[in-house]
Amino acid sequence: MSTHINAASKDDIAETILLPGDPLRAKFIAENYLRDVKQYNNVRGMLGFTGIYKNIPVSVQGSGMGMPSMGIYSWELITEYGCKNLIRIGTSGALNSEIRIRDIIVSLASSTDSNYAHSFKIPGSYSPAASWELLTKLYETGKKTGISFKAGNTVSCDVFYETDPDWWKKWSEMGVLAVEMEAAALYMNAAYHGVNALAVTTVSDHFITGEHATIEKREKDFTQMMKLALELAVSV
C-alpha cells in the first residue's frame, strides 16, 4: 500500500491504466464502460477502479490537477503497483486556429514552464516525449475505430490563472497545439522508470476563439476520447 493509494496489493491494479484528472470522470468510465468493477482507492477522494473491458483488465484512477499531483499518482502506480502503460485522459486548451472545441489532441512531446525536471538532476534541458509503443498503437486504434485526432507538441503549465493575458501566444508561435497541466510530469516519470506513457486530451477551451465547454460536458460528454483510450488500453 502506498501513501496516496490504498489498494491492498499489486493485483488490484491492472498494468494498463487510464489517468483522468477528475475522479468523477474515473467513476463515469468505470460505471459506463467496464464490467466486474472493483473500487480499490478512495484516499483523499481520488477514486480508483479496476474492471474488465473486452475481456482485458483495465484500471482507471483519478490523478488530480497539475504536475505535482500527476507526479505523485503516476510515481506510486509505477513503483508500488507495477503499472506499465499509463494513459492520461483529460482536457486541454487550444492554441491553434485549426483546432476546434471537442477535437482530440495527442501530446507527441510536452513542453513545460515547470521545474519538475530538477528532481532528476539532468545536466541540460530534457524533452518529455510520448511512448513510441503507445503512439503507434494509438495510430492503429484511430484507424480501426474511425476516431480522429491531432498530434503534436503541447505544453504543461504550472499556473492556471496567468496574470499576462497574452502568455500563450509565444507557445502558439512555436507551433504548440494546446496547453494542459500534467503530461510533462507523466512523461518524465515514465521515462525515468522505463515504462510507457501517453497523454490524450479533448479540447475544452480555445484561447483564440474564447470558446469554453461546460463543466458537465468536461466530466461526461467527451466520450470519443474515452473510447479511444480504452481501445488503446486493450491493444497493448
| Candidates 113, 158, 205, 221; catalytic one | 205
Give me the pLDDT at residue 2, please: 85
Give me the pLDDT at residue 216, please: 74
**Domains along the chain with CATH numbers:** 10-233 (3.40.50.1580)
Give me the pLDDT at residue 221, please: 65
For the chain, give the mean pLDDT.
96
The CA-CA-CA angle for residues 198, 200, 205, to 5°, reads 145
Give me the pLDDT at residue 37, please: 98
Quick check: is 166 catalytic?
no
